[in-house]
Structure 1
Amino acid sequence: MSFLIRIVVNAFAIWIVTLIPALQVSVIAFAPGETLQLVLTLLLVGLIFGLVNTIIGTVVKVLAFPLYVITLGLIGLIINAFLLWLTAWITSFWDWGLRVEDFWWGVVAAVIISLINWVFGLILRPRRSRD
């Protein structure tokens, strides 16, 4: 259930960052209705971003642990931008998906996505009861 919530939150965050002119989403053309096409595309891109972040992101973050320590975590911004760019590259094989025109706009988008995920994580995190 938490993975589905992460997909929806990622889709919402990607929709927010597509307001930046250098990032855009090409919609799926087989669904009826413009809004449904956009929602399905954002959910699929959110799914792919979630999988990339879960599988590849975990490996990269573990291998880059010394860089996290040296840069006090700032390398995480570059790694998140790389994962967003990788998602755009994966979806470029189809006619739909995320398009990132410039790497530095990808860094800005990764920061915004991280902030949105952090806020929703605070809101949706299950509360622990004190004993």
Structure 2
Amino acid sequence: MKNFLVKTIANAAALAVAVWLLKDITLTGDNTGRTVLALVLVALIFGLVNFVVKPIVKLLSFPLFILTLGLITLVVNALMLLLTSWLAEKADLAFHVQGFWTAVLGGVIISIVSWAMHMILPDND
């Protein structure tokens, strides 16, 4: 349970940094409380997408990982962020990623911040 909470906090922080740095990734809310709640819900969706969909995509695109020496990871991360944006829209959350290249840059930012958060936060039980 603690590991799940740490990953959710790390995802929320990483998404918040991406929203703060990139003008084409937006998260809106009526007030601060609703914005934070939306951020946590988007972080949960993002974690679910990374847990369920990403391994399947990585398995199916394994030859591309070998061919591009792992650079296809940038595209996979961007697609996971775009899928999160689409699912958040369907869940009536005010999170939106506009464009593929914004998703690529957002994926890089989220990966770096998430890695840093995992270094800071304890994740063992």
TM-score, normalised with respect to structure 1? 0.85
Q: Is the 8 A contact 1:49 1:87 kept in 2?
A: yes
Deviation at 1:119, TM superposition (A): 1.4
From 78, 88, 92, give the equivalent of 1:91: 88
Deviation at 1:126, TM superposition (A): 5.8
Q: Distance in 2 between matches of 1:82 and 1:88?
A: 10
Q: Which amino acid aligns with 2:108?
A: V
Q: Distance in 1 between matches of 2:92 and 2:122?
A: 35
In the alignment, structure 2 segments of 5+ residues that lack a partner are none
Q: Distance in 1 between matches of 2:79 and 2:37?
A: 24
From 24, 46, 59, give the equivalent of 1:62: 59
Alignment of 1:101-120 (within 5 A): 101-120=98-117
Q: Distance in 2 between matches of 1:40 and 1:69?
A: 39
Q: Distance in 1 between matches of 2:6 and 2:116?
A: 13
In the alignment, structure 1 segments of 5+ residues that lack a partner are none
The higher-RCO structure (CA 8 Å, 6+ apart) is 2
* Paired position in structure 2 for 1:13: 14
The alignment covers a number of residue pairs equal to 122
Rg larger in structure: 1
Q: Deviations over 1:67-97 (max 9, x none)?
A: 1111111100100000000000011124323
The runs of 4+ residues in structure 1 deviating greater than 6 Å are: none
RMSD between aligned residues: 1.7
Q: Distance in 2 between matches of 1:56 and 1:95?
A: 21
Q: Distance in 1 between matches of 2:95 and 2:123?
A: 31
Q: Report the structure, 1 or 2, having the larger helix content.
A: 2
Alignment of 1:33-48 (within 5 A): 34-48=31-45
**What is the aligned-residue identity percentage?**
39
